[in-house]
Amino acid sequence: MTPQDRILQLRSELHQHNHNYYVLNQPTISDKDFDLLMKELEALEREHPEMADPNSSTQRVGSDITSDFEQVAHRYPMLSLGNTYNREEVREFYERVESELGQGQFSICCELKFDGLSISLIYERGQLVRALTRGDGQQGDDVTANVRTIRSIPLQLPDGTDYPDELEIRGEVLLPYSSFERLNEEQEAAGKPLFANPRNAASGTLKSKDSRVVAHRQLDAYLYYIPSPLPSPSHYDALQQARQWGFKVSEHMRVAHSLQDIYDYIDHWDEERRNLPVATDGIVLKVNDLRQQQALGYTAKTPRWAIAYKFPAERALTPLEEVTFQVGRTGAVTPVANMAPVHLAGTTVRRATLHNEDYIRQLDLHEGDWVYVEKAGEIIPQVVGVEANKRPTDARPVVFITHCPECGAPLTRYEGEAANYCTNEATCPPQIKGRIEHFVSRDAMNIDSLGSEKVSRYYDLGIISDIGDLYTLRQRFAESTGFFGTTPEGKLLQQEFGGTKSKSGEKAFQGIEASWSVPFERVLYALGIRFVGKVVAKILAQHFRSIDALMQATEEQLTEVEGVGPAIAQSVVHYLSLPRSQELISQLRAAGLQMQMKEAEHLSDALMGKSIVISGTFTHHSRDEYKALIEAHGGKNVSSISKKTTFILAGDAMGPSKMQKAASLGVPLVTEEEFLAML
C-alpha cells in the first residue's frame, strides 16, 4: 500500500471511530489504539504535506491561526420560531394547522428545544465545507475552523450512504453540563470570569478566535433541520436518514397524531429534561410532511408550520435560614438568602440573591419564611417569592443592616441607586481587594501573572495592602534575605516568591513591571474611579492628555467634555482630591507607569530594520500591544515566516507547523521576556 493510500485508509477508519465514540457513545477500540492510529496518521501527513486536508481527524485539535470571522450569506435564510409559554397557544397552533390541512390529514413531529446556539453546516459531496452561525438570519459568521474541532460533527460523511451531493443541515451547538462545570472550574482556578450558563459558554466558545480553545472545551452538536432539497417526504424520516450519514440526531423525537399526544410529550419532558446531559428550554412542534410545510409557508420571520413551547423556569420552595450580607468591590452590599439545600435545574442550591433593600421589602420577607427560588437560565439563583401561608405566626420582618459587615462603617444610599454602600472606601477589606483585582484585570493593567485569587491571597497574608504595594514587591523580596528573612514579612515573601516557586515569582514580578507600557487611558481606567469605565477613561485621557491636567480640572471643566455628565465629574474630582489617591498616583508615577498620552508613537530604534513574526499566546501583553510595541521601536510586523524574518516573538503554544518552518529556515525564536528586555 502506498503511503497516500494508507493516509486515506487511516482517515476513514478514524472518522468511523470518532463517530462510534462521540455520536453513538459506543467505542469499538481502546483510547490507546485510537491514539496509535492518530499518531500514525499525523506522522504520514507530516511526511506528505501535499496530502493536507482540513477535514482530516488530525485537524480536530484546532490551530493558532487567528482571523476575524468572514460574513457569509445564507443560501436559505435562518429563521427563528414563534414562541409560546402556554398550552392554550399550543392548541391554537394545532387547530390552525388542522383547519388548513384537514382533520386527520397530518402529523406533528415533537422535538426537544436545545438551548445553545444555532449553526448551519454545508456539505459538498460529503465533505464539510462551511459552517455558519445564524447572524442576522440573512448572513452569518463563518466559523468553519472552530466547528471542525467539534467531534460529534462529521467532517466527511461515510462512503456508501446515499447523502445528497449538496447538503445543508442545521442544529444547535451546545456545551454539555459536565463540560460546562469543568470549564467553570478551570476559569475559576485561572482567576477568569465564570460563564453564567452553558448557552453563554457555548456561544463564547464558538466565537473564540483560537480554535484550540474550542477544541479543548468539548462542544457538542445536535442536528434538527435540513433546508436543502431532500428525497424523503417527511421531516422525521429525513432526520433518521441524517443519523445514518453520521449526524447526532436526538433519539427523543416523536411523531404525534393528536393534540393529546403533544400534551403527553410536553408533560413527559417538562419533568424528564432534568435527567438530560444538555440544557433544553422547551419543545419544538413541526408539521411532519415536507409538502405540507411548503403549503403552510412562512411569515416574515418564522415558519407557519412550526412553533416552540418554552418550559416555565424551574422553581423550588425551601425554608429561609438566614439572611447574610456581602460587600462587593464597589462597596455595594448585596443581601443573600441562605436556605435549606434544595435541588434546582441540575444543581443543589443553598444561597440565592435578594438583590437589595427594596427587593426585600417588596417580597415582604420575614424570618423563617419559605421562599421560592428560580434560576431562569442563569447560574445565580434568586428568590422570586414568599409562601405567605407557611409563615410562622410571630415571624419578624427581615431588616436591612445599617453598618458594613466587613468593617463596621455606616452604610449609605446614593440618590437614584438601589444599592446600599459601605462608606469606608479607604480601608474596607473587600473594597481594597476589589480595587486591586480591578487594577490587574485584563482590560485594565492586564497583569495576568497575578489573577484575582493571588491578589486576594497576598492581601490576606498582608504582603500587599493596596495597589501601590505591587510595585515594591520585587524590591521587598530582594531584601527579604539575611536578617530580613527572619521577619514575618520576609518569611512570607520568601515562601511566596522564592525557593522552588522562584520561577513563578519572577514571572509575577515581570508581569507587574510590564505594566509600564500600558497606555495612560487604561491606567486611568485601572484606578477604579466610580463611574469611570473604559469609555469614559478614554474620553478623559484624550481630552486632558495627562493626569496632572486632569487633577487641575474643575467639575465645570469636566462637564464641558462631551460624554462626561455631572455624576462622573463629581466622582473624578472627589477621587483626585483624596490624599490616598494622590499618594497612589505618585507611587505609580514613580514606578514608571504612563501618566500621560504618548505624543510621539516612536519610542526608539531598538528594532530598526527587523522583520518580526508574532506567534502563540502571551502573558504580559496582548498581541495587539506587541504589534504596537514593534512599530513604536522601529520594527516591522510580518505575518508569515520567510528567510527574511529576523526573529519570531514566540509565546506559549506556538503552532507545530510554524515551529517546523522556523527551524527549517533557521529563524530564531525570542521569548516574551527576552523581547521586553531588548526594548
Annotated catalytic residues are: 113
Does the footprint of ligand IVH cover residue 114 (CB under 6 A)?
yes
Give the cell for residue 201. Answer: 459558554
All 3 cell numbers of residue 117? 446556539
Provide, rounded to whole angstroms, the least separation between the CB of residue 223 and ligand IVH: 9
> Between 133 and 156, whose beta carbon lies closer to ligand IVH?
133
State the minimum distance, in angstroms, from the CB of residue 308 to ligand IVH. Answer: 5
Set of cell numbers at residue 245: 450519514
* Minimum CB–partner distance for residue 256 and ligand IVH (Å): 14
Of 301 and 442, nearer to ligand IVH (C-beta) is: 301
Q: Which range, of 113-121, 229-237, 337-345, 542-550, touches ligand IVH by CB under 6 A?
A: 113-121
Residue 356 CA to residue 447 CA, distance in Å, equals 33
Residue 131 touches ligand IVH, criterion: CB under 6 A: no
Q: Which stretch binds ligand IVH (CB under 6 A): 301-309, 345-353, 534-542, 638-646?
A: 301-309
- Per DSSP, 249 falls in state -
In the shown chain, the binding pattern of residues 151 to 180 toward ligand IVH, with x for contact by CB under 6 A and - for none, equals ---------------------x--------
Helix (H) or strand (E) run with residue 523 in it: helix 520-526
- What distance in Å separates the CA atoms of residue 140 and residue 134, rounded to the nearest whole number? 5
Q: How far is the CB of 113 from ligand IVH (least distance, A)?
A: 4
Identify residues 197-216 at the interface with ligand IVH (CB under 6 A): none
d(CA 19, CA 580): 62
Alpha helices in 102-132 (DSSP H): none
| Local structure of residue 57 (DSSP, 8 states) | G
Give the residue from 298, 56, 278 showing the smallest Cα distance to 156.
56
User: Does 521 participate in binding ligand IVH (rule CB under 6 A)?
Assistant: no
Q: Which of 126, 176, 303, 616 binds ligand IVH (CB under 6 A)?
A: 303
HSE (side-chain half, CA atoms, 13 Å) at 98: 11
Please choose, out of 110-118, 124-132, 447-455, 500-508, the segment that lies near ligand IVH by the rule CB under 6 A. Answer: 110-118
> And the C-alpha cell for 50?
501535499
Among residues 113, 199, 522, 621, the one that binds ligand IVH under rule CB under 6 A: 113
Give 242 or 612: the residue with its C-beta nearer to ligand IVH.
Answer: 242
- Sequence-ordered strand ranges (E) for 311-397: 315-327, 332-344, 347-353, 370-374, 382-386
Query: For residues 679 and 592, is the Cβ–Cβ distance under 8 A?
Result: no
Residue 335 in grid coordinates: 443581601
Q: Evaluate whether 445 touches 411 at the Cβ level (below 8 Å).
A: no
Residue of 69, 123, 163, 225 interacting with ligand IVH (CB under 6 A): 225
Stretch that binds ligand IVH, among 46-54, 112-120, 177-185, 393-401 (CB under 6 A): 112-120
Q: How many residues bind ligand IVH (CB under 6 A)?
A: 14
Site string for ligand IVH, 55-94 (x = CB under 6 A): ------------------------xxx-------------
Interaction of residue 236 with ligand IVH, rule CB under 6 A? no
> Residues 68, 69, 73, CA angle at the centre, nearest 5°?
150
- Rounded to the nearest 10°, the torsion over CA 579, 582, 586, 588 is 110
Counting contacts by CB under 6 A, is residue 148 touching ligand IVH? no
Distance, CA of 283 to CA of 139 (rounded, Å): 26
Which lies closer to ligand IVH via its Cβ, residue 116 or residue 246?
A: 116
306 binds ligand IVH (CB under 6 A): yes
Question: Taken in order 446, 205, 216, 651, is the CA torsion positive or negative?
Answer: negative
Tell me the closest approach of the beta carbon of residue 80 to ligand IVH, in angstroms.
4
Where do contacts with ligand IVH occur on this chain (CB under 6 A)?
A: 79-81, 111, 113-114, 118, 172, 224-225, 284, 303, 306, 308
